[in-house]
Amino acid sequence: MSHVLVTGCSSGFGLETAVELAQRDWHVFATMRNLDKRGRLDSFLTRSDKVDVLQLDVTDAASIEHAVKELLAITGGRLEAVVHNAGVSHGAAFEDVPDDEARRVFETNFFGVLALTRAVLPVMREQRSGRIVLISSDSAFYGAPGLSIYTASKWALEGWAESIAYEVEPFGIQVVCVEPGSYRTDIWDSSPRIIPPDSAYRELAEIEEKAVQEQLVARARDPKEVAKVVARALEARQPRFRYPVGPDAKTMATARGIVPRRAQAAVVRRILGIHRWKP
């Protein structure tokens, strides 16, 4: 049986990925920062004997060390794959983002991935095999107002992944980026909106929030689609490095390198309804 560690399994992509992989006979180590939030995962599982739920906070070195040790004790020292899914965001114009909030996003979305990868790489190198799957975002490749820090964290993740892929490939370890577009996950509701009373960007934020609800959230797709792509990436004999998921992500992937940045920006402005904003 193959063993996989999945982060951020209390909801969204992580929850769906844990369920999908368990149904495909993977032994899943579904992790989450707060085990009090495991109820949704437990209610979805029909084969719980294939899932171990562990506490893991990717921003806490002691938590990472403890979870990896517990996992390896159960598997006899093996780990075939890790799916880095835990992520956070916020909605705010860059000028309004406090430094500690920007660091919070990077600690989870970027540095947490690095820390957990460091913890599992020795095992994968020793067994001369492994697969590292990153739940990135199509946002990594084009900016959007109010998402500068989130976009930067995903862009950093993609650049890091491209680089370490060269380093680990000789050890039989493959790196994969799964890049979803708009999907129904809790990140929409859990992300704080930061709009100071005197913000010069208040009107922009209000326009954007309305557009996000009407254009993106309303059309967001079932996260099960992403879970199935993760499973395919894990089980493929020769996985691709990038998997854009969803019509919007695939369209943007096709446009990269073909459509000029100015044209892409014009489309984003119209979709979000901010082309008429005149501060």
Residues assigned a catalytic role:
150
Identify the three-state secondary structure at position 188.
helix
Secondary structure of the chain in HEC code, one letter for each residue:
CCEEEECCCCCHHHHHHHHHHHHCCCEEEEEECCHHHCHHHHHHCCCHHHEEEEECCCCCHHHHHHHHHHHHHHHCCCCCEEEECCCCCCECCHHHCCHHHHHHHHHHHHHHHHHHHHHHHHHHHHHCCEEEEEECCHHHHCCCCCCHHHHHHHHHHHHHHHHHHHHHHHHCEEEEEEEECCECCCHHHHCCECCCCCCCCHHHHHHHHHHHHHHHHCCCECCHHHHHHHHHHHHCCCCCCEEEECHHHHHHHHHCCCCCHHHHHHHHHHHHCCCCCCC
Tally of CB atoms within 10 A around 188? 17
Amino acid symbol at 85: N
Closest to 29 measured CA to CA, from 80, 71, 64, 59 = 71
Q: How far apart are CA 48 and CA 37, in angstroms?
A: 16
